[in-house]
């Protein structure tokens, strides 16, 4: 693995020339200078390329730019993981920024881990603030006298009930081990990040720290999709997310049975939408036999049995989606 930098800051972008300066400006102010900025342009039609070319000339840190036809953030993430020259991969979205000590503080937290133990962990997770400096979401339940908590994505959400936008980095070599299914032939716009984070952090736990390092910018003009909209437009993404949770997180069923019943119903619901939309698509059949085999949910598991029991409810929800939004 070619590690020329401590961090690769990765920014996926699509027609965000008007907001991309937030990421650039905050990187210019970083107190830690051992990083590269890797931009994956997911088919922008605005002046993103010319803007980046201008920054490549004037910036005091290396900027690498990769353009791809519009394929979704999950494909851009894979490109970044494979192209990164940093030991750690940080995703900084194209409409957000971070505090000037963000990389320095994350590295300091990592350095607290004994050298011989670092290969056990996937990375560091911290918190976000809004543009007014107010904290977003709930804190990690770190014990008094401790400065961090070792856990995984599932335990943090389902046992500790931590909510809100979070941020952090992953080891680049670990991210390469858990690449997203791309499904390029199906022109998928979105694969939920949870399908990588759930298994990845169960194998390689995360060090959670109560530091607020990313600045989240909420765009009121961003379209908020309902669950039904998402089911209609991205059934494979929903199916994969629910399937991954039912496969890897079902041990938390006693803590939150309603949560898993909803997951099981939406898992079946998304399956009905997939059949409706992709039944005659040979590309989907091929993907099921190749890229998607790792995500198969066995019927003999608790998650599989629960999804089977919830099939009638799933079908009712599916029919309701069709009635509301059309076939």
Query: How does pLDDT run across 118-138, given as a tens digit for each residue?
Result: 999 999 999 999 999 999 999
| pLDDT the model gives residue 325 | 79
- Looking at CATH, the fold of the domain delimited by 5-216 is given as Spore Coat Polysaccharide Biosynthesis Protein SpsA; Chain A (3.90.550)
**Which residues lie below 8 Å from residue 93, measured CB to CB, with a gap of 6+?**
11, 12, 23
User: Both tokens of residue 296?
Assistant: 């198969």
pTM: 0.92
Backbone torsions φ then ψ of 166, nearest 5 degrees: -130, 175
Nearest CA among 217, 221, 269, 266 for reference residue 245: 266
CB 32 within 8 A of CB 103: yes
Strand 63-67 to 5-13 pairing:
unpaired
Show the low-confidence residues of the chain (pLDDT under 50). Answer: none
Among residues 207, 201, 4, 209, which one has the least CA distance to residue 102?
Answer: 209
Domain with CATH 3.90.550.10 in the chain: 5-216
């Amino acid at each position: 693995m070619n590690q020329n930098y401590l961090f690769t800051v990765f920014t996926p972008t699509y027609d965000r020339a008007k907001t991309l300066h937030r990421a650039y400006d905050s990187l210019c102010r970083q107190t830690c200078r051992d990083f590269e900025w890797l931009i994956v342009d997911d088919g922008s039609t605005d002046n993103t390329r010319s803007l980046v070319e201008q920054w490549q000339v004037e910036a005091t840190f290396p900027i690498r730019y990769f353009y791809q036809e519009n394929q979704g953030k999950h494909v851009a993430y894979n490109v970044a993981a494979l192209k990164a020259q940093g030991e750690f991969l940080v995703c900084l979205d194209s409409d957000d920024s971070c505090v000037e000590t963000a990389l320095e503080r994350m590295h300091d937290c990592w350095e607290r881990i004994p050298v011989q133990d670092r290969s056990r962990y996937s990375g560091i997770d911290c918190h976000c603030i809004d543009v007014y400096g107010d904290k977003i979401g709930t804190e990690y339940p770190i014990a008094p006298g401790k400065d961090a908590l070792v856990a995984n994505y599932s335990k943090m959400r389902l046992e500790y009930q931590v909510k809100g936008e979070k941020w952090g980095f992953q080891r680049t070599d670990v991210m390469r081990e858990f690449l997203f299914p791309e499904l390029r032939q199906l022109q998928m716009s979105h694969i939920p990040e949870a399908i990588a984070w759930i298994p990845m952090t169960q194998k390689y736990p995360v060090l959670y720290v109560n530091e607020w390092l990313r600045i989240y910018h909420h765009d009121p003009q961003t379209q908020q999709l309902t669950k039904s909209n998402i089911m209609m437009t991205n059934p494979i993404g929903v199916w994969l997310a629910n399937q991954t949770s039912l496969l890897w997180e079902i041990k938390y069923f006693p803590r939150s049975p309603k949560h898993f019943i909803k997951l099981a119903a939406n898992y079946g619901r998304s399956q009905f939408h997939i059949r409706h939309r992709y039944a005659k698509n040979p590309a989907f059949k091929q993907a099921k036999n190749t890229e998607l085999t790792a995500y198969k949910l066995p019927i003999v598991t608790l998650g599989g049995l629960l999804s089977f029991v919830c099939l009638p409810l799933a079908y009712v929800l599916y029919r309701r989606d069709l009635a509301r939004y059309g076939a």
